[in-house]
Each structure stands twice: as C-alpha cells, then as structure tokens.
Amino acid sequence: MLHQSETVFQDQATKRKRRNRKVAIGSTLAAVLIIPTGAYAAMTIFGNGSLTAEAYQSQGLTVSEEHLSKKLFPGAEADLVMKVTNPNPFPVKVTQIEPTGNPTNVTAGCDLSKVSGPVGANPAYSIPVAAQQTVPGGGDAVVTIPKAVKLDLSAEKGCGFTIAIKITGTQSAAGN
C-alpha cells in the first residue's frame, strides 16, 4: 500500500512528464516554423535598375472630304460634314472649328457679312455639346456640325467662297 505522500509524489511526477512533453512538442513546433522563416529571410535578394519614360508627342487631327450638307441659297443653312482622322493612340473629342485665314475664291458680289458660321462676324464656331463626337485613336470619324453655315435672306444669289479651317479637340477617355 502506498502512503499518501507517495501518491502525491507520483501525481507530481506524472504532471512534470506531461508538462515536459508539452514543452518538447512546443519547442519542436517553434523550431519547425522559425527555422524555415530564417532561411527564407537569408535568401531574399535585392537588385537595382532604372526606368526611362518619355511623354507622347501628340499629333494634329486632319480633315478631309469636308462639304456642306446642301447648296446654300439666301435664307438657307447647311450642316458642315467632314471626315476627321486622328493619328494619336488615344481618342479625341472634337470641340471647335475656326478659319485659318480669310475666305478665298469669293464669287463676285458675295458679301461675307451676310454669311453666319465660321466665316461670319464670329469666326470661331464652338460645336454644341450634343454634336461633339469622339474620334477613336488611330482612326477616323465623320463629324457633322449642325447649322454651321447660313446665308442671310439678303445675301447675293450664287454667293460662294472657300475657307481653310482648323479643328480643335481634347483628349478623351476611351469610350467617351
């Protein structure tokens, strides 16, 4: 028969064995987790380099195949229709046209003060927002400016002229 102090001694010994086993398992687990992390940190490699960037130099839009939607006569107005080509890699929204000089090839008796639109008293013609069109990057689009030119009722019959125009646009986000 065991004395009570021996039972206490055996219980304490059993508890120490369990605690030692837990410490041993915990230490092993810690070693397994920490050692590979240390090895990984020792294998981290760094390097240096440089990056050179250059801004794109935008190119001008080109206009071709421009014409009025119909022949003008006193009191008539017409839309200006043109093909706009965009050589840039980004879309451009057309916002304005304006003459680049005085009208040429003006027919005899044609009074340009009786013409409204890009050659009239206000030579710059802002395109209404509803008519602004985006020309895709590297592509072209037909742009129509509604009611761009109008002859006054008192204008001379057969009034005609030629005018060079400049088109203005702004870079637009894709799909706008």
Q: Check whether 39 has a pLDDT greater than 60.
A: no
Output the pLDDT for position 145: 79
- Average pLDDT of the residues in 46-56: 82
* Residue 121 confidence (pLDDT): 44
- The pLDDT of 127-145, averaged and rounded, is 82
**Closest to 58 measured CA to CA, from 82, 97, 90, 94:** 90
pTM of the model: 0.60
- Mean pLDDT, the chain, whole residue set: 76
Q: Residue 24: which pLDDT band, with cuts at 50, 70 and 90?
A: low
Question: Do 119 and 161 meet the contact criterion of CB atoms below 8 Å apart?
Answer: yes
